[in-house]
Amino acid sequence: MAQTQKKQGDMGTGSVKKLLLQLMIPAVVAQIVNLLYNIVDRIYIGHIPGIGAAALTGVGLFTPILMLLNAFAMLIGAGGAPRTAIAMGQGDKDQAEKIVSNSFTMLLIFSVLLTVVFYAAAPALLRMFGASDATLPYALAYSRIYILGSVCVLIVLGMNPFITAQGFAKISMLTTVIGAVINIVLDPILIFLFGLGVRGAAIATVLSQAVGAIWIIRFLTGPKTTLRLKKEYLKPEGKIVLPVLALGISTFVMMSTESLLSISFSSSLARYGGDVAVGAMTVITSVSQLASMPVSGVCQGGQPVMSFNFGAGKKERVKEAFRFQLLVCFGYTAIFWVLMMLVPGVVAGIFTSDATLIQYTTWAMRIYMAGIFSLGIQIACQQSFMALGQAKVSLLLACLRKLILLIPLIFILPHVVADPVFGVFLAEPVSDIIAATVTAATFFSRFDKILDRGAGKV
C-alpha cells in the first residue's frame, strides 16, 4: 500500500512528461491490443474459403450493435474515472470508492437490459443496417453469440478506466493483452480446425472478454488496488451515479453515434454501391480505429494526471500535461494520414484476398482518410474537457462531429457530387476538419477560465 500511495503522490509532484509517458504507453498498447478483438476476427473471417467476402460484410453489419454496447460501457467508465481521479486529488478516498462500486453496479444493470433487447431485436436490426439475403446468416450467427457475452464486454471496457485512473496503467494494459492473446489463439482453432466459421470467431471473442472481466474483478477486490470494489458501496446512489452519467454522456454520444454513423454509411453505400461498397466500409472502419483508438489511449493516460492535478489546484501541471497530450495526438494522426495516402492497398490486402474488394477499398480509403490528420486535435481537446469535468461543453462537442456534421453530410453530399459513392465517403474528411477547428477554438478560449474556477466549480 505504501508503494501505491507513492504513485498517487507522484501524480501531483513528479515530472509531468515522465508521468504521462508511464501512463500513456500502457494505455496506447491496451487500445491497440483491444483492436485485435475485432480486427483479428475480421482478418480470419475475410479469408474463409468460398465465403470470406460475404462473411466479412455480414460481421461488419454487427458494428452498430457492437458500438452501442461499447457506448454504454464507456458511459460509466469515461464518466466515472475522471470523477474518481478528481476525488483522489481532493483527498476523498471514500467518495472515490463509492464511485467505483456504484459504477460496477450500473454496468451489471446495463448488461442485463442490453442482452435481452439486442438478442431479440438482432434480425430486424441487421436488416435495417443493410444486411442482404447473402450476408444476414453470417451477421446473425456472429451477433447473437457476442450479445450473450455482453456482460463481460461491459465490465472490461467500463471498469478498466478505473484501474488507469489510480495510476495502474500496466495492469489496465494487461487486461486487454491477456484477452487479445487468448482471442488470437482461439480464433483459428474455432474458425478453421473445428469448422465453426463466424460462430467460432464470436465464441473466441466472448471467452477472451470473460477472462478480462475476471482479471479486473480480482484486481479491484485484491490487495494491490488503491480503491477497492466494496459491497457496502454497491447500492446505487443518485448523488454518485448522476454526476458520473452527466460527465460520461459526451463519450456515450460519441460512441453511440458511431452506431448511427455505421447505419448511415451502410444504408447509403448499400443503396449506391452494393455489397462491395459495404464490404469496403467494413475494412475502412477497422483501419480508422487504428488512428482513433491509440489517440484515445494517449488521452486515457493523460486523464488521471490532468484530473488529479485539477482536483489539487495545480494549474501549471494541468497545462503542461495538455500541451504534451496535444502534441502526441496530432503527431500520430499526421503520420497515419501520410501512410493512408501512400499505401491504402497494402492495408486493405491484410483484411481480404478478394481482388475486387481490395481495389475498391484502396480508392475509397484515400477519400475517407483525407482529413484524418485533424482527428488528433479534436480528440485531445474534447477528452481534456472530460478530464476537467466539463460535462456540458464536452457533450456539445461530441455531438458536433457526428450528429450535426457527419451524418447529415452522408445523405446530402451524394446529391451534390457527380458520383454518389464518392459523396458518401467525402462526408468523413469534411466533418473531421470542421469539427477539429471548432473544438480547438472552443477549448483554447475556455481552458484558462476553467483552471481559474477550479474543481470545486465543476
Task: Give the pLDDT mean for 10-38.
Answer: 80
Mean pLDDT is highest, among 92-101, 132-141, 299-308, for 92-101
Residue 4's Cβ-count burial label (10 Å; 0-12, 13-18, 19+) is middle
Q: What is the pTM of this model?
A: 0.73
pLDDT (0 to 100) of residue 173: 86
Instruction: Report which of 179, 225, 193, 228 is spatially closest to residue 31, judged by C-alpha positions.
Output: 179
For 75-124, the pLDDT digits (tens) are 999 899 989 988 888 889 999 999 999 999 999 999 999 999 999 999 99
Q: Report the distance separating Cα 398 and Cα 74, nearest Å.
A: 14
Q: What is the largest CA-CA distance in the chain?
A: 66
Residue 390's Cβ-count burial label (10 Å; 0-12, 13-18, 19+) is buried
For 191-237, the pLDDT digits (tens) are 888 988 889 989 998 999 999 999 999 999 999 999 999 999 999 99
pLDDT (0 to 100) of residue 6: 41
Residues contacting 78, CB < 8 A, separation 6+: 161, 247, 248, 250, 251, 252, 386
Count of helices and strands (H, E) across the chain: 18, 0
Is the pLDDT confidence value at 456 over 70? no
Task: Give the pLDDT mean for 404-430.
Answer: 93
Cell for 417? 457530387
Poorest-pLDDT segment among 148-157, 228-237, 318-327, 350-359: 350-359
pLDDT (0 to 100) of residue 3: 40
Cα distance between the two ends of the chain: 30
Task: Give the pLDDT mean for 228-250.
Answer: 92
pLDDT band at residue 7 using 50, 70 and 90 as cut-offs: very low
pLDDT band at residue 61 using 50, 70 and 90 as cut-offs: confident
